Structure 1
Amino acid sequence: MIHTKSESDITSLAPSSPSRSPKRQVYYVQSPSRDSHDGDKSSSMHATPNFTSPMESPSHPSFGRHSRNSSSSRFSGIFRSSSGRKGGRKTNEKGWPECNVIVEEGKFDEFDDDKAFTHRCQALMALCGFIVLFTVFCLIIWAAGRPYKAEVAVRSLTVNNLYIGSGADFTGVPMKMLNMNGSLRVTVYNPATFYGIHVSSTPVNLIYSDIVVATGQLKKYFQPRKSHHTVLVHIQGTKVPLYGAGSNLVVSDSSAVKVPLTLEFEIRSRGDVVGKLVRTKHRRRISCPLVIDSTSNNPIKFNKKDSCTIVYPKNFLLLMKMFNFLLLMLIFFLFSLILLLLLSPFIFTTVSSENDDTDDLEDIQELIALDEQEEEGENYESKDFGKQSEAEVLSKAQRIVLELNSDSTKRAIEENEYVLILGYAPWCSRSAELMPRFAEAANVLKGLGSDILLAKIDAERYPKAASTLGIKGFPTLLLFVNGSSHPYTGGFSSEEMVIWARKKTGTPVIRINSVTEANEFLKHHDMYAVGLFNKFEGSDYEEFINAAKADNEIQFLETSSTEIAKVLYPAVLDPTNSFFGLVKSEPEQYTSLDDGNLTADKILQFLDNNKFPLVTVVTELNSAKVYASSNKLQVHVFAEADDLKKLLEPLQDIAKKFKSKILFAAVDIGEDNLAKPFLTLFGLEDSEETAVVAFDYNSNSKYLLESDPTSSNIEDFCVGLVQGTLSPYYKSQAIPDNKNASILTVVGKTFDDMILSSPKNIILEVHAPWCITCETTSKQVEKLAKHFKGLNDLVFARIDASINEHPKLQVEEYPSLLFFPANDKSNPIKLSTKSSLKELAALINKNLKSREDPLAKDEL
């Protein structure tokens, strides 16, 4: 039914309204609210009947304020003629007076919202356009700055001291040692017009046969635009072991020597074109071959452009371009993302109140999901607790190590009885590898209650303090006992450092008093030596203690209980006398010394023969220990990692037959630092095939297995090494074709036939590819060969001594000119390479014993 409003509930007509024929009741007209989904279910009028006029519409009075978002309607005025005349009214088809009374509130609000949305989109587009333009501008500036690369010129290298002599490394192995110091002068030019460059700190190395013999550090600095800057780098190498590479150097009685070296370093520059936003980065690699003469103090000058090779890595340039481009694109997207986040409250208007319930439900679901994520995070943290605890242990261990400086160094040594100091440099990769192990050793020693203070010092930052301590290379470990310095001679794992430190500070032996202590020790150690004694006294026990003090690598244990000894060494019998055994985590785990009475020398020799596995896999940690072994016969197998795994078991079977006679080592050919220095000695540095080589350090000879590396061939090779029947190996190139050549090319394989067995007089030019002055000598030899072309008993030849060897070819410098007389090939005559062309021709004529025409021409 239709509900009418009373007079008091409606708006009265305006008093000025003219008199109207019968007064009509006025109604509020309200459309069904969208805010209510259930409505008033008591009346059937709330269905959707088909009303034909407003008079027939049901009344839905609204008590309370109407929202702008509501679809309710109300009166907005009174009945009034559309013409505004007081007279007759215009009526519509149904006779109702025309009026502007019923207006839908908020009907046109959507047009205002559209305009606001348009303005926001325009603002967003304008800002995005600005970012794009700015990005393009930065790219243009970056591209314009790329061609301005720093130009590098190596000026000179001054060597103040160079000495090569016999010595021993820190493990006591005799070999050639190199000492040198000098300074390098380098000039850097910045061609950029609008910005300066920052040159980074990089190492400078002098390399001999892949061994870094001296090093320095180019310190970082800033260089203004359009300027030259000369840098002086001090280079030093102290007691650098040359290992097998030293066999190629010949030192005269007067200690004079010429050493072929390669100078290698890098110049890294960065230019801030537009602050930190746009940068250009360049990198130049410089490599300079040179020869250092220990008898000359004159600086080595690099004046020619071809003296050094300067390379700008293409891959690096491409990577930097990609990096800068991606960086700019990342900045653009970040700006856009931040902008969207800032404008999102204005772009996306609030959804109508009918979604409130849904939003509340979604919020509850999000909170529940958040709770579940927190629970999962707690579970993940509990699972990852082991990894976090390991990181915390390492961090704690690093805090235990005392960081020294110029002021605290002297005080730390004076106030502590034992101080183990690590000298390092921030740029040194080996220092970085050793630092965590050093910290771990500090943590272990503290847990054992040791009085040793472990400290470290940045020798690059505090050079005076480092020099006072005696730190000359990196990394360097030194033990100070009551202020006195002692060199470190132990291994470089954390366990080896702990063992060495305890041995040198009064704890060479650990006494095990119970089975519990034995089991606890076994949890943390897999290699040790155990001594079983009836009483801790007597000659055997004293010799045992002396051996423990002399050894630097293995932890010694002592016990007087057979039950405890069987926990540590299950194969032990009930001995009537003293017992000594070695335990390793290898197939041959238990080894005992069965040689009557114990002596320190017997124990140390026994350990030296048995401490290595049957086949030792060489790593950075144990390489020095392997090469320093007292066993002078060594067989090394070089192969790829997968091939080594296949060879390991048959090699172990062979090693058992030559135990204590030959040390077997396996080297992954992919480890350049470990493999290349040795493979270079055989000319195999570029080979990827399996190679079996041997060294006899008693005679400084090397051998190569030239047949297939089968088990039987390797065993025969080892038999020949022990019996001394192998022929030493000398490097050689393939035999060349010398047909119609005016100067014959000699290689290692043809040296006997072409030089020693030839009935003719031979002029032999000995050169090397890295030799700077060899090119000049080669041109002189070519002119001499053309001049003496008419002599049938004189032959000119040349040999590259860097890749060809022969026992009769011994030279001290490059280039060398040797005259082999036809009647005395065992005593070649050395000709001076510094002589003029005319002087060389006169010397040749003088030394020729028989010739048809002396050809002593003055026109030379």
Structure 2
Amino acid sequence: MFSVVLFFLVAVSLDPAFGGSLELTDNDFATRVAEFDTMLIMFYAPWCGHCKKLKPEFEMAADLLRENDPPVELAKVDCTEGGKATCTEFGVSGYPTLKIFKNGKVSKEYSGPRDGPGIVKLMASQVGPSAKEITSVEAFEKFLAAEDNSVVGFFKAASPLKEAFLEAADNLREKFRFAITDLAELVKKHDTSDGIILFRPKHLQNIFEPNQHKYDGESSKSSLEAWLKKKQHGLVDHRTRDNADEFKNPVVVAYYKVDYAKNEKGTNYWRNRILKVSKNFADDFTFAVSSKDDFQHELNEFGYDYVPSEKPIVFARSKDNKKFAMKEEFSIENFESFLKKLKNNELEPYLKSEPIPEDNTKPVIVAVGKNFDDVVTNNNKDTLIEFYAPWCGHCKKLTPVWDELGEKLAGEDVAIVKMDATNNDVPAPFEVRGFPTIYWATKDGKASPVTYNGGRELNDFIKYIAKHATTELKSFDRSGNPKKKDEL
């Protein structure tokens, strides 16, 4: 009995049909990868926190994609044990690293979603023909039942439009689902024998905009692609972490409990009210709804640690990225009033800022959102500014050096400034993507601020400032060496 159970457990661990992704090593990597047309491989380290977070999503995707038509196989390689040589061969330098393989060879780096459904969606788009052939009404209905935009080409014969459609499908297969059909019943029903229709997913269909759009542009790939990108989000789309970058300013976003998986009716209850108003401002703004739980970081940018009400809260960004918040409780009337004022430039931008320090005369000047222009942009001094986060270890290590730098240059025509970039808005053209981020800005303002990427010791900063200062420093020469007394 024991031997039978043992045999079964071994069979389960070796047979991918029992669930999960494959585990590959240096010994079997080349032969196993060659067995599959398309694979997604995760190179990982067991101690890696990001890998641990990704693993359950990866395994979920592995099971779902194995049922895909055609199937996609997922596999893992432990770079610390049995897969060291393989990871070295493919240049793995961080964890997790994901790569797409086709026919045993690397096709490209995977840079898509890191959640199960997102992985499934992207990888499913990588296999099979870019445009699925529809041969029955049942297959057509099933194709339209997906939760994404569906683009269908109706063609009875070869044509320039059909050629453009297939080229666009190859290029945009990761963003849209494409299908092609010459079925007489479907061609007649949709009144087109040489045309293209974009169908909205059923959960986003509404009475305020068409549920399908027929292409009427040129028979060219570029024209069709531009049309699809313009139409893809409709009047008010569901903005997620995966597609957030596609919503360009000026944009208006309503945040609430958006959950189409568990509460489609409740989600659309509020979305329909947003649609009703936004249809009158479609030429002025891009509109979207987003889950407040998925975008807590954006709520924080507008000063919200949490949303106490079930009603949507509305934030907007202008074309030049200024921030605006609807302060009134959501209602159709308040939302319409907010949009009218926003359109007519009648609203004050929201500025995230700590209070201006009562005493800001220390050698290191403190910048906050409200005084940034005064102490940085218009201070008539060359400026070295550190953007930091209170919790950042590297920032804490830099603090005594920064304070000493301020003291050393206290009598110079140079400002040493620091700003907490987690509690204050960082204005353009400054960009902060990590901590600490340091910029050098010249007093005349003619040149754009430049990122400082030099050493972090006191002398490193002094040498840099001495070399780049608009006017030579009083206490240091251009090389950063202290001047002799007779030079002062």
After TM superposition, the score normalised by the length of structure 1 is 0.40
CA 1:634–1:481: 2 relative to 1, 3 Å: farther
Q: Counterparts in 2 of 1:711-750, with a 5 A limit?
A: 711-716=335-340, 719=343, 731-738=352-359, 745-750=366-371
CA contact (8 A) 1:401 1:442 kept: no
2:303 equivalent among 668, 684, 709? 684
CA contact (8 A) 2:57 2:116 kept: no
CA contact (8 A) 2:145 2:201 kept: no
Corresponding position of 1:434: 58
Number of aligned pairs?
418
Alpha-carbon distance between aligned partners in 2 of 1:494 and 1:636, rounded to the nearest angstrom: 25
Q: Which amino acid aligns with 1:774?
A: T
Greater Rg by CA: 1
Corresponding position of 1:591: 212
Shift of 1:814: 6.6
Q: Percent identity?
A: 18
Corresponding position of 1:38: none
CA contact (8 A) 2:26 2:85 kept: yes
CA 1:814–1:711: 2 relative to 1, 3 Å: closer
Q: Which amino acid aligns with 1:625?
A: N
1:704 equivalent among 317, 324, 327? 324
1:444 equivalent among 39, 51, 68? 68
Shift of 1:508: 2.2
1:422 equivalent among 36, 41, 58? 41
Q: Deviations over 1:515-535 (max 9, x none)?
A: 3443455566774222222x2
Alpha-carbon distance between aligned partners in 1 of 2:316 and 2:365, rounded to the nearest angstrom: 31
CA 1:538–1:607: 2 relative to 1, 3 Å: same
Q: Which amino acid aligns with 1:581?
A: L
CA 1:828–1:608: 2 relative to 1, 3 Å: closer
CA contact (8 A) 1:610 1:660 kept: no
Q: Which amino acid aligns with 2:214?
A: L
Corresponding position of 1:407: 27
Matched, 1:775 2:397: no
Matched, 1:624 2:239: no
CA 1:668–1:483: 2 relative to 1, 3 Å: closer
Corresponding position of 1:509: 131
Matched, 1:575 2:192: yes
Corresponding position of 2:100: 478
Shift of 1:808: 8.1
CA contact (8 A) 1:738 1:744 kept: no
CA contact (8 A) 2:100 2:108 kept: yes
Alpha-carbon distance between aligned partners in 2 of 1:794 and 1:405, rounded to the nearest angstrom: 61
Q: Deviations over 1:7-56 (max 9, x none)?
A: xxxxxxxxxxxxxxxxxxxxxxxxxxxxxxxxxxxxxxxxxxxxxxxxxx
Q: Deviations over 1:320-354 (max 9, x none)?
A: xxxxxxxxxxxxxxxxxxxxxxxxxxxxxxxxxxx
CA contact (8 A) 1:733 1:804 kept: no
Alpha-carbon distance between aligned partners in 2 of 1:810 and 1:529, rounded to the nearest angstrom: 38
Corresponding position of 1:648: 271
Q: Counterparts in 2 of 1:160-199, with a 5 A limit?
A: none
Alpha-carbon distance between aligned partners in 1 of 2:170 and 2:340, rounded to the nearest angstrom: 40
Q: Which amino acid aligns with 1:540?
A: L
Q: Deviations over 1:157-199 (max 9, x none)?
A: xxxxxxxxxxxxxxxxxxxxxxxxxxxxxxxxxxxxxxxxxxx
Q: Counterparts in 2 of 1:285-684, with a 5 A limit?
A: 397-399=17-19, 402-416=22-36, 418-423=37-42, 425=44, 427-445=51-69, 450=70, 454-460=73-79, 461=81, 462-469=83-90, 473-474=95-96, 476-481=98-103, 483-488=105-110, 504-519=126-141, 521=143, 527-533=149-155, 535-552=156-173, 553-564=175-186, 573-575=190-192, 577-585=194-202, 586-588=204-206, 590-612=211-233, 614-619=235-240, 623-627=241-245, 629=246, 631=248, 633-638=250-255, 648-657=271-280, 659=282, 662-671=285-294, 674-676=295-297, 678=298, 682=301, 684=303
Shift of 1:456: 0.8
Q: Deviations over 1:50-75 (max 9, x none)?
A: xxxxxxxxxxxxxxxxxxxxxxxxxx
CA contact (8 A) 1:548 1:556 kept: yes
CA 1:659–1:857: 2 relative to 1, 3 Å: same
CA contact (8 A) 2:405 2:458 kept: no
Q: Which shifted more, 686-695 or 595-604? A: 686-695
Question: SS at the partner of 2:67?
Answer: helix
CA contact (8 A) 1:745 1:799 kept: yes
Gaps of 5+ in 2: 1-11, 260-265, 451-456, 477-483
Q: Which amino acid aligns with 2:403?
A: S
Alpha-carbon distance between aligned partners in 2 of 1:529 and 1:397, rounded to the nearest angstrom: 32
Alpha-carbon distance between aligned partners in 1 of 2:147 and 2:291, rounded to the nearest angstrom: 26
Root mean square deviation of aligned Cα: 5.2
Alpha-carbon distance between aligned partners in 2 of 1:579 and 1:597, rounded to the nearest angstrom: 12
Shift of 1:407: 2.0
Question: SS at the partner of 2:242?
Answer: helix
Alpha-carbon distance between aligned partners in 1 of 2:383 and 2:121, rounded to the nearest angstrom: 56
Alpha-carbon distance between aligned partners in 2 of 1:646 and 1:608, rounded to the nearest angstrom: 26
CA contact (8 A) 2:165 2:224 kept: yes
Alpha-carbon distance between aligned partners in 1 of 2:439 and 2:186, rounded to the nearest angstrom: 69
Shift of 1:730: 6.0
CA 1:607–1:738: 2 relative to 1, 3 Å: same
Alpha-carbon distance between aligned partners in 1 of 2:115 and 2:184, rounded to the nearest angstrom: 31
Matched, 1:694 2:311: no
Question: SS at the partner of 1:624?
Answer: coil
Gaps of 5+ in 1: 1-391, 567-571, 848-855
Q: Counterparts in 2 of 1:85-164, with a 5 A limit?
A: none
CA contact (8 A) 1:635 1:694 kept: yes
Alpha-carbon distance between aligned partners in 2 of 1:514 and 1:829, rounded to the nearest angstrom: 61
Question: SS at the partner of 2:225?
Answer: helix
Structure showing the higher strand proportion among its residues: 1
Alpha-carbon distance between aligned partners in 1 of 2:115 and 2:442, rounded to the nearest angstrom: 54
CA 1:400–1:726: 2 relative to 1, 3 Å: same
Shift of 1:805: 3.7
CA contact (8 A) 2:161 2:194 kept: no
